[in-house]
Protein backbone atom coordinates (compact mmCIF):
# COMPACT_ATOMS: atom_id res chain seq x y z
CA UNK A 1 0.00 0.00 0.00
CA UNK A 2 1.20 3.54 -0.71
CA UNK A 3 2.59 5.48 2.24
CA UNK A 4 1.62 9.15 2.33
CA UNK A 5 3.01 11.71 4.77
CA UNK A 6 0.60 14.57 5.44
CA UNK A 7 2.12 17.55 7.25
CA UNK A 8 -0.69 19.64 8.70
CA UNK A 9 -1.35 21.36 12.01
CA UNK A 10 -5.13 21.76 11.51
CA UNK A 11 -7.18 18.91 13.00
CA UNK A 12 -10.05 19.64 10.60
CA UNK A 13 -7.76 19.36 7.57
CA UNK A 14 -6.29 16.14 8.97
CA UNK A 15 -9.77 14.61 9.20
CA UNK A 16 -10.59 15.66 5.63
CA UNK A 17 -7.37 14.15 4.28
CA UNK A 18 -8.14 10.86 6.02
CA UNK A 19 -11.43 10.83 4.12
CA UNK A 20 -9.75 11.65 0.79
CA UNK A 21 -7.18 8.87 1.12
CA UNK A 22 -9.16 6.24 2.97
CA UNK A 23 -9.27 3.86 0.00
CA UNK A 24 -5.97 4.79 -1.60
CA UNK A 25 -3.13 4.84 0.91
CA UNK A 26 -1.80 4.52 4.42
CA UNK A 27 -1.72 8.04 5.82
CA UNK A 28 0.77 9.24 8.43
CA UNK A 29 0.13 12.71 9.82
CA UNK A 30 2.79 15.01 11.24
CA UNK A 31 1.43 18.06 13.07
CA UNK A 32 4.64 20.11 12.78
CA UNK A 33 7.67 20.57 10.55
CA UNK A 34 9.94 18.99 13.19
CA UNK A 35 7.68 15.94 13.48
CA UNK A 36 7.72 15.58 9.67
CA UNK A 37 11.52 15.68 9.54
CA UNK A 38 11.69 13.07 12.31
CA UNK A 39 9.39 10.77 10.31
CA UNK A 40 11.32 11.36 7.08
CA UNK A 41 14.54 10.33 8.83
CA UNK A 42 13.00 7.05 9.98
CA UNK A 43 10.63 5.93 7.23
CA UNK A 44 10.07 5.84 3.50
CA UNK A 45 7.05 7.55 1.96
CA UNK A 46 5.66 7.50 -1.59
CA UNK A 47 4.17 11.00 -1.41
CA UNK A 48 4.25 14.02 0.88
CA UNK A 49 1.41 16.52 1.09
CA UNK A 50 2.17 19.54 3.26
CA UNK A 51 0.41 22.67 4.37
CA UNK A 52 2.42 25.81 3.67
CA UNK A 53 2.16 27.77 6.93
CA UNK A 54 3.19 26.52 10.38
CA UNK A 55 3.83 28.32 13.66
CA UNK A 56 7.54 27.46 13.36
CA UNK A 57 7.98 28.39 9.69
CA UNK A 58 6.80 27.20 6.30
CA UNK A 59 7.05 24.14 4.13
CA UNK A 60 9.90 25.56 2.01
CA UNK A 61 12.39 24.29 4.60
CA UNK A 62 10.70 20.88 4.53
CA UNK A 63 10.85 20.72 0.73
CA UNK A 64 14.55 21.57 0.84
CA UNK A 65 15.10 18.80 3.40
CA UNK A 66 13.26 16.28 1.19
CA UNK A 67 15.17 17.26 -1.96
CA UNK A 68 18.52 16.90 -0.15
CA UNK A 69 17.60 13.52 1.38
CA UNK A 70 19.02 10.48 -0.45
CA UNK A 71 16.01 8.44 0.70
CA UNK A 72 13.31 10.90 -0.42
CA UNK A 73 14.82 13.21 -3.04
CA UNK A 74 12.53 11.90 -5.81
CA UNK A 75 9.37 11.67 -3.71
CA UNK A 76 6.53 13.81 -5.10
CA UNK A 77 5.70 16.80 -2.88
CA UNK A 78 2.39 18.66 -2.99
CA UNK A 79 1.91 21.88 -1.00
CA UNK A 80 -1.54 23.14 -0.05
CA UNK A 81 -2.55 26.49 1.41
CA UNK A 82 -5.64 28.61 1.91
CA UNK A 83 -3.58 31.52 0.60
CA UNK A 84 -2.11 29.80 -2.48
CA UNK A 85 -1.52 32.37 -5.21
CA UNK A 86 0.86 32.80 -8.15
CA UNK A 87 3.87 34.05 -6.15
CA UNK A 88 3.50 31.30 -3.53
CA UNK A 89 3.15 28.66 -6.24
CA UNK A 90 6.32 29.97 -7.87
CA UNK A 91 8.20 29.81 -4.53
CA UNK A 92 7.19 26.23 -3.78
CA UNK A 93 7.90 25.01 -7.31
CA UNK A 94 11.34 26.64 -7.26
CA UNK A 95 12.00 24.98 -3.90
CA UNK A 96 11.26 21.61 -5.48
CA UNK A 97 7.55 20.88 -4.94
CA UNK A 98 5.71 19.07 -7.72
CA UNK A 99 2.46 20.99 -7.34
CA UNK A 100 0.55 23.46 -5.19
CA UNK A 101 -3.17 23.62 -4.50
CA UNK A 102 -5.54 25.95 -2.69
CA UNK A 103 -7.51 24.88 0.37
CA UNK A 104 -10.17 23.75 0.80
CA UNK A 105 -9.41 20.77 -1.39
CA UNK A 106 -12.15 19.22 -3.45
CA UNK A 107 -12.14 15.45 -3.91
CA UNK A 108 -12.30 15.67 -7.72
CA UNK A 109 -9.30 18.01 -7.88
CA UNK A 110 -7.41 15.98 -5.31
CA UNK A 111 -7.79 12.76 -7.26
CA UNK A 112 -6.84 14.60 -10.45
CA UNK A 113 -3.36 15.35 -9.10
CA UNK A 114 -1.87 12.06 -10.25
CA UNK A 115 -1.38 13.06 -13.89
CA UNK A 116 0.35 16.30 -12.83
CA UNK A 117 2.79 14.96 -10.23
CA UNK A 118 4.54 12.35 -12.30
CA UNK A 119 5.74 9.95 -11.08
CA UNK A 120 2.89 10.09 -8.60
CA UNK A 121 2.38 6.91 -6.62
CA UNK A 122 -1.35 7.54 -6.37
CA UNK A 123 -2.02 6.85 -10.06
CA UNK A 124 -3.17 3.38 -10.83
CA UNK A 125 -3.62 2.51 -7.17
CA UNK A 126 -6.06 -0.31 -6.65
CA UNK A 127 -8.88 0.40 -4.26
CA UNK A 128 -8.54 -1.19 -0.86
CA UNK A 129 -11.21 -1.51 1.76
CA UNK A 130 -9.31 -0.37 4.82
CA UNK A 131 -7.32 2.63 5.87
CA UNK A 132 -4.74 3.22 8.56
CA UNK A 133 -3.66 6.64 9.72
CA UNK A 134 -1.11 7.69 12.30
CA UNK A 135 -0.73 11.09 13.89
CA UNK A 136 2.62 12.11 15.32
CA UNK A 137 2.39 15.13 17.58
CA UNK A 138 5.04 16.01 20.10
CA UNK A 139 6.36 12.47 20.35
CA UNK A 140 2.93 10.89 20.89
CA UNK A 141 1.56 8.62 18.18
CA UNK A 142 -2.13 7.87 17.69
CA UNK A 143 -3.19 5.23 15.23
CA UNK A 144 -6.65 4.56 13.90
CA UNK A 145 -7.88 2.03 11.38
CA UNK A 146 -11.19 2.15 9.58
CA UNK A 147 -12.88 -0.32 7.29
CA UNK A 148 -15.03 0.57 4.33
CA UNK A 149 -17.59 -1.95 3.05
CA UNK A 150 -16.95 -3.12 -0.48
CA UNK A 151 -19.28 -1.54 -3.01
CA UNK A 152 -18.42 -4.00 -5.74
The per-residue pLDDT for 13 is 92
**What is the number of other CB atoms lying within 10 angstroms of the CB of residue 56?**
9
Q: What is the DSSP string of 9-47?
A: --HHHHHHHHHHHTTTEEEEEESSHHHHHHHHHH---SE
Q: Write the CA distances from 80 to 52, 124, 139, integer angstroms.
A: 6, 23, 24
| Beta strands 77-81; 47-51: pairing state | parallel
Percent of the chain residues past pLDDT 70, beyond the cut: 69
Domains, the chain, in order of start with CATH, read 2-140 (3.40.50.2300)
Q: Rounded to two decimals, what is the model's pTM?
A: 0.75
H or E segment to which residue 61 belongs: helix 59-68
9 vs 19, more confident? 9
The per-residue pLDDT for 132 is 33
Instruction: Compute the average pLDDT of residues 57-86.
Output: 95
Amino acid sequence: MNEVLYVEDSTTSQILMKKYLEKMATLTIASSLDAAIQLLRDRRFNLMIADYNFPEGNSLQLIQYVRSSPMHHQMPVIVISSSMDGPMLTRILRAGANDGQEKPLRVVEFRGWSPRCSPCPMSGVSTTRSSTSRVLNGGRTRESTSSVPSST
